[in-house]
Amino acid sequence: MPTTATSPQALPYAGVRVVEFTHMVMGPTCGLLLGDLGAEVIKVEPIEGDATRRLLGSGAGFFPTFNRNKKSIALDLKSPDGVEAARKLIATADIVSENFKPGTMQKLGLDYATLSKVDPRLIYVSHKGFLPGPYDHRTALDEVVQMMGGLAYMTGRPGDPLRAGTSVNDIMGGMFGAIGAMAALRQRELTGKGCEVQSALFENNVFLVAQHMMQFAATGKAAAPMPSRISAWGIYDVFSVKDDAQIFLAVVSDKQWAIFCQALSLQDLQADERLRSNNDRVLAREWLMPVLRERLAAYSAAELSSVFEKNELPFAPITKPQELFDDPHLNATGGLAPVRMNDGSQSKVPLMPLTIGGERPGIRLQPPLKGEHTRALLREVGYSEAQVEAMLAAGATAVN
């Protein structure tokens, strides 16, 4: 059983310092991943604190989800003193990460072109809506690029485009930013020079739908939205069963078809020549699925789960996100860790979905309070206690 790593020295990016100017999901995800892998990540927040500390509704969980394993310093980047403190902090960094609107960091003198003149070894990660090109002036959101990038079309029913049920492009855009930072660190080892890394929501979304683009390239036929697609497998669907429950069941090979029929006493279907191969069953779905739905409706979801698990057939209960807190597998394998919420209460949060040497990289630092590390970080980069107090009094910085 994997355990949760607790020693920073055991993590691959221990000793790497990241200074991030990020908000919402995309940029913070990049820092989250680097922090989970051992980097020291310093989050530069505005004086009032990151806006996701105050979001309601679907954004209420953003801050505790994407800001663990980070330190916080609050700086007013509209003031010369705040910008100067940011520059001194950057001077100690290996990586700078940002996801402000295009041009914002340049106005502050904190863009890659400016900073790399001072430190050619600096790695600079920019998370944007679009990579440089005709669209780069547009304001992008996850939902915007899902609509223009084919994902909403593929997710919804025909004529009813629908965004995916989570911030897929924001999260994956941050992941690609982190991957780019990792590649840049390796390149710096080889060349001695840093570089700028760019990651973008739109291009990430296009990467996600590439399989549907290439389906068209290979077949000449446009991919149908997922709810109305022609499945590649005969049985690959959600079934309504006893007590108004639902369960996803899949039978994706001829061997699995034989096991499925034997396990559920469907020998008459197994003997039917019209259903001999998977492709036969795909072509027979119009009449086969109603038969299966009628027969399987007599079972409970638990009964079908037991049969499918025993026979190593693919299945899945239809689970709501909040039910995952009690998932036996996640809890047994250390996939959920205690985390401090915005109001100071405690919950559990999913860790990165990987192990390193059999260990899950865990939480070394809880999501920071606003400006929790302001004093210590300013002193570290050369400010005296009197200077820190003067900056606090002037509103150029803040503590929790």
- The confidence score (pLDDT) of residue 400 equals 87
pLDDT of residue 1: 42
Q: Do the beta carbons of residue 92 and residue 63 sit within 8 Å?
A: no
In the three-class reduction of DSSP (H, G, I as helix; E, B as strand; rest coil), residue 25 is classed as: coil
Q: What is the pTM of this model?
A: 0.91
Assess contact for 146 and 166: CB atoms under 8 A.
no
Q: Output the pLDDT for position 2.
A: 47
Strand ranges, E, within the chain: 3-5, 17-21, 40-45, 70-75, 95-98, 123-128, 196-200, 235-241, 245-251, 315-317, 336-340, 346-350, 359-361, 397-398
pLDDT for position 3 = 45
Q: Which residues of the chain fall short of a pLDDT of 70?
A: 1-9
pLDDT at res. 225: 94
pLDDT for 230? 76
Q: What is the pLDDT of residue 8?
A: 54
Structure confidence at residue 10 (pLDDT) = 83
What are the chain's domains? 3-209+330-398 (3.40.50.10540), 231-321 (3.30.1540.10)
Separation of CA 345 from chain center: 23
- What per-residue confidence (pLDDT) applies to 9? 59
pLDDT the model gives residue 4: 52
